[in-house]
Chains A and B, each alone.
Chain A
Amino acid sequence: MTSIQKKSEKSRSGEGLPIVTDLVDPRPRRLVKFLNDYRLLRATASSSVGYTKEARGALAGPTVRVQLNRLPHKILKVPLDVLVEPDEQGFLARTPDLPLYGYGQDRIEAIDMLKSEIESLFDDLLENNHLSAEWLNVKTFLKERIES
């Protein structure tokens, strides 16, 4: 494997990127909406209100690796790795473990959407048994990671 291939492989899995654990947006939702509405959030994302110094530093990079410990209404027994990267008009959050993405005007919105997507997928999988082998594996994977 060439060094370029190795680098590309590392980039896909997020290896080597700083980890931000349990990223919870501490800002009031109305403030986020206000900043979004007036296009202020993207400019101030790296220095936004309420983040620790460490989180601010990690959020400033182009691709951020985050570990999720909780979903909107559920707790994760094992953290899920998430990569957040800029897209043309916003930010894209994805996890290498699941075929899901989150998208938002800022990184927090993207992560929040991904969290909702994971929860919604889990509920979908629990409600249905007509699933392909791939989704049965995903169901097992999520059952092992989400506290019921």
Chain B
Amino acid sequence: MKKNGFSTYDVRRCCEAKLGIDFVRTGNASHGWFKKNKLRIRRVTVLEGKQLIGKGLQKSMASQLGLTTDQFDDLLACSLKKEEYEEILRDHGMM
């Protein structure tokens, strides 16, 4: 995990770049869908801004993506690739 933790900006950037999620802004947050073959699989909400995410928020976002907090950390730290993410979703019957 990053020394000072991850920010909401890190999460959004990572979801866009690695998972191809397009975000739509609603109020002070944005949400986007992880899709496979146009099918909507997971929906994640990320707060606007660059605030550091606490444990509760981290767990909530990880859960929305169908990941544990450790897997979520790996996703943000760039060690978890999109193919591995899809594998996790398949293992959990989410895809």
Q: Is A113 touching B40 in the complex (CB atoms < 8 A)?
A: no
SS class, residues of chain A in contact with chain B: mixed
Total A-B contacts with CB atoms under 8 angstroms apart: 61
Q: How large is the interface on B (under 10, 10 to 19, 20 to 34, 35 or more residues)?
A: 20 to 34
Q: Is B27 touching A135 in the complex (CB atoms < 8 A)?
A: no
Which B residue's beta carbon lies closest to that of A72?
B27
User: Is B26 an interface residue when CB atoms closer than 8 A count as contact?
Assistant: yes
A contacts with B, residue count (CB < 8 A): 23
Residues from chain B with a CB closer than 8 A to the CB of A85 are 56
A100-130 CB contacts (< 8 Å) to partner B: 100-101, 103, 113, 116-117, 120-121, 124, 128, 130
Q: Is A113 touching B41 in the complex (CB atoms < 8 A)?
A: no
Given A88-B56, A89-B54, answer yes or no on A101-B94 (Cβ-Cβ < 8 Å).
no
> Which of B38, B39, B52: most chain A Cβ within 10 A?
B39
Q: Is B60 touching A113 in the complex (CB atoms < 8 A)?
A: no
Given A113-B28, A117-B31, answer yes or no on A103-B39 (Cβ-Cβ < 8 Å).
no
Given A128-B40, A132-B41, answer yes or no on A103-B47 (Cβ-Cβ < 8 Å).
yes
Q: List 18 A-B contacts (CB under 8 A).
A: A87-B54, A87-B57, A88-B57, A92-B60, A94-B60, A99-B43, A99-B63, A103-B29, A103-B47, A117-B26, A117-B29, A117-B31, A124-B33, A128-B40, A130-B35, A130-B39, A131-B40, A134-B94
